[in-house]
Amino acid sequence: MSEDKLTVLDHPLLQHKISLMRDKNTGSKEFRELTAEVALLMTYEAARDLPLKQVEIETPVAIAKTNVITGRKVALIPILRAGLGMVDGAVSLIPAAKVGHVGICRNADRKGVTDYYCKLPFDIKERDVIVMDLMLATGGCAVAAIDKIKKSGANSIKFMAVIACPEGVRALRENHPDVEIYCGALDDGLNEDLYIVPGFGDGGDRIFGTK
Ligand code: URA
């Protein structure tokens, strides 16, 4: 399903894997593996519009006029900490990508976010950026991360989350209307603890086994 700047990826393999991630009985080893697999499949879709140029390559039989990716390169930027779980899957598909990191967390009063770390590729202006987090919940961390990444000069940014909800999509659209959003599921919304419902609980804890 694709609406204005929001693509909900409905591939059966992706849907199946996200269902396994949702299961509270899925342990962190399996959750981590599933996260990497889902990130790979999502990256495949998010990279669909990478520009191509035609080249000639000599096969054992003849000269083939065939396509290779050209022009701008890719930067993958996970939001710490849960977004880290998506890096391996994405890098396995785009091995030449550079990887930046943005550390942002919600404040204890849940009223805002604090950014505590940022290290981005020096040539980010020349790259197509894919920002990734496991969940797009209130959108506070995603908006702040993209603010920072734009300040460093990036001008082509996509955002990828395994599960999103309407509140987060709205916040991202209002603050960064140029950013395309890719998710594997658009859930019902947030509960009073700001967890996505039904979601899969605390993404960082599920990946790293910290609870
Ligand atoms: N962050 C999480 O880890 N889980 C949610 O449901 C929402 C935000």
| Pocket probe mutation, ligand 1, options 106, 183, 195, max atoms within 8 Å of Cβ | 195
Instruction: Give the count of alpha carbons within 13 A of 82, CB side only.
Output: 24
> DSSP label at 51?
-
For residue 175, give its domain range. 2-208
Provide the domain count of the chain.
Answer: 1
Q: Is the peptide bond before 81 cis (omega within 30 degrees of 0)?
A: yes
Instruction: Please name the residue ranges forming H helices in 47-188.
Output: 87-93, 140-151, 166-175
| Pocket probe mutation, ligand 1, options 79, 134, 143, 167, max atoms within 8 Å of Cβ | 134
Q: What is the spatial distance between Cα 76 and Cα 16, in angstroms, rounded to a whole number?
A: 25
Q: Read off the pTM.
A: 0.93
Nearest to 101 by CA among 133, 125, 128, 126: 133
> DSSP label at 5?
T
Q: What is the pLDDT of residues 91-131, one digit of tens each?
A: 999 999 999 999 998 888 877 899 999 999 999 999 999 99
Which pLDDT band holds residue 211 (cuts at 50, 70, 90)? confident
pLDDT at 2: 57
Taking residues 74-79, what's their average pLDDT? Answer: 97
Taking residues 60-85, what's their average pLDDT? Answer: 94
Q: What is the pLDDT of residues 148-203, one digit of tens each?
A: 999 999 999 999 999 999 999 999 999 999 999 999 999 999 999 999 999 999 99
- 110: phi > 0 → left, psi -120 to 50 → alpha, else beta; which? left
Domain of residue 12, CATH code: 3.40.50.2020
